[in-house]
Amino acid sequence: KGKTVLITGASKGIGAATARTLAGMGAHVVLAARSAEALAKLAQETGGRAFPCDVSDFAQVRALIEATGPIDTLINNAGLIDPIARLADSDPGAWGRVVDVNVKGVYHALRAVLPGMIERGSGTIINISSGAATSALEGWSHYCATKAAVLSLTRVADKEMRSAGVRVIGLSPGTVATDMQRKIAASGINPVSQLGWEAHIPPEWVGQAIAVLLGPKGDAYCGTDFSLKTEEGRAA
Ligand code: NJP
């Protein structure tokens, strides 16, 4: 309550649901993504502030932090999975773009908020990783590799920052009913859930899990690879 929370990838899916949950609990949400119109709508709904931004560009992320002022909590959520393709058919440019968003984007937001958090001696960062970080999923090489990098980055950041009063938590949300899963299903390659759309986790539940991790008893659950599982017990 009363904390300023920056959420990347807030224009839809898990990021938007998390913004609604946290704003409903009294947080001041700062919403970042590329889709300006969706962000403006959500800002109106949540009483938050919208900052259109491409997280793969450090200059844009740094400008955002300069404009917002102190950030107490960062939800490093922006991510991409498409285009889904087996390695032999993959396009090097598109593959690299996933690295730019999923790895560099997470690093950029961390890098931009950490000096302020260290100076104030407090802060919490949740990096959204995935069960894909520790799985070999055909057609998802860029996604598996980049989410493994997020897990690794989270572990190092947590180790470096704990003594400065900054917690860095990794969260793997399971199979969540968002556009990302729609794209996976449409690709026809390796759709995660055989049980259908209704078995996917609603994005609102991920928002609630994030609220628990940020809450007073959050430390009991925190770690650098905290996972939510689908009904199938198979992480996404
Ligand atoms: O995905 P989706 P989710 N700069 O596609 C934004 C992870 N995850 O909510 O820029 C800034 O609905 C994009 O905004 P826009 C997943 O890997 C998911 O499911 O306007 N923002 C949108 O707001 C990801 O890290 C599942 O297009 C950029 C958001 O990212 C996170 O959860 C399972 C951007 C994507 O919304 C949210 O995914 C799992 C950029 N360059 C992990 N590029 C799952 N859904 O099952 C994209 O384990 N965005």
Assign residue 108 the CATH number of its domain: 3.40.50.720
Burial class of 118 by CB neighbour count within 10 A (0 to 12, 13 to 18, 19+): middle
Task: Pick the more confident residue, 120 or 220.
Answer: 120
What separation in Å is there between the alpha carbon of 234 and the centre of ligand 1? 20
For residue 234, is it within any domain? no
What pLDDT sits at residue 193?
59
What separation in Å is there between the alpha carbon of 9 and the centre of ligand 1? 5
Which residues have any ligand 1 atom within 6 Å of their CB? Answer: 8-15, 33-35, 54-56, 77-80, 101, 105, 128, 130-131, 172-173, 175-176, 178-181, 236
Q: pLDDT exceeding 90 applies to what percent of the chain? A: 81
Domain that holds residue 45: 4-227
CB 112 within 8 A of CB 58: yes
pLDDT at 236 over 50: no
Between the two ends of the chain, the Cα-to-Cα distance in Å is 30
- Rounded to whole angstroms, how far apart are CA atoms 148 and 157? 14
For residue 18, is it within any domain? yes
Q: Is the peptide bond before 92 cis (omega within 30 degrees of 0)?
A: no
For range 16-21, the mean pLDDT: 98
Task: Pick the more confident residue, 223 or 43.
Answer: 43
Vertex 161, ends 222 and 111: CA angle to 5°?
105
pLDDT tier for residue 230 given thresholds of 50, 70 and 90: low
Q: Map tokens 């058919």 to a residue.
A: 89
For residue 235, is it within any domain? no
What pLDDT sits at residue 224?
78
Closest-lying ligand 1 atom to the alpha carbon of residue 81: 17
What pLDDT sits at residue 188?
84
For residue 81, is it within any domain? yes
Q: How many domains does the chain have?
A: 1
For residue 123, is it within any domain? yes
For range 89-114, the mean pLDDT: 98
For residue 215, is it within any domain? yes
Convert the pLDDT of each residue in 49-78 to its tens digit.
Answer: 999 999 999 999 999 999 999 999 999 999
Closest-lying ligand 1 atom to the alpha carbon of residue 10: 23
For residue 236, is it within any domain? no
Task: Pick the more confident residue, 216 or 193.
Answer: 216
Convert the pLDDT of each residue in 129-182 to its tens digit.
Answer: 999 999 999 999 999 999 999 999 999 999 999 899 999 999 999 899 999 999
For residue 223, is it within any domain? yes
Nearest CA to ligand 1 atom 10: 34
What separation in Å is there between the alpha carbon of 134 and the centre of ligand 1? 19
What separation in Å is there between the alpha carbon of 102 and the centre of ligand 1? 9
